[in-house]
Amino acid sequence: MDDDICPKFVVLRTYLPDNSGESSSGFFEDSNSLNKYCPNKNCNTDLDKITAGFLWLLEQYCSISQKENYDESNINLFFLYIISWLSYKLNQNSKHNFTTINDFYTKHVNDNHKYNNFINDASKFKNLKETIDKKKDFLDINIYDMAKFYDSFKFLCSMHGNVAMGNYDEKLSNNAIHFFNKYTDINDYYNVEGTPHSQILSALLTDYNKLKTNCASKITNPKKFPSLPTGRATKSFLRNSSIQISVIPMTFIFCALLIYLGIVYKRSSFDFRKRLQKLNLRIKKIKRKINH
Q: Write the pLDDT tens digit of every residue in 154-185.
A: 999 999 999 988 888 889 999 999 999 999 99
Question: Residue 216 and residue 210: Cα distance in Å, rounded?
Answer: 10
Q: What is residue 47's predicted lDDT score, i.e. its pLDDT?
A: 92
Lowest mean pLDDT among 25-34, 140-149, 259-268: 259-268
- 15 φ, ψ (degrees, to nearest 5): -100, -30
The string of pLDDT tens digits covering residues 180-192 is 999 999 999 999 9
H-type helices in 19-169, by residue range?
32-35, 46-65, 72-92, 101-104, 116-122, 128-134, 136-139, 143-146, 150-164
Question: Residue 96 and residue 48: Cα distance in Å, rounded?
Answer: 11
pTM score over 0.85: no
The whole-number average pLDDT for the span 227-243 is 63
39-46 LR contacts (CB < 8 Å, sep 24+): 39/114, 39/115, 40/114, 45/95, 46/20, 46/93, 46/95
The one-letter amino acid at 290: I
Question: Residue 189 and residue 149: Cα distance in Å, rounded?
Answer: 11
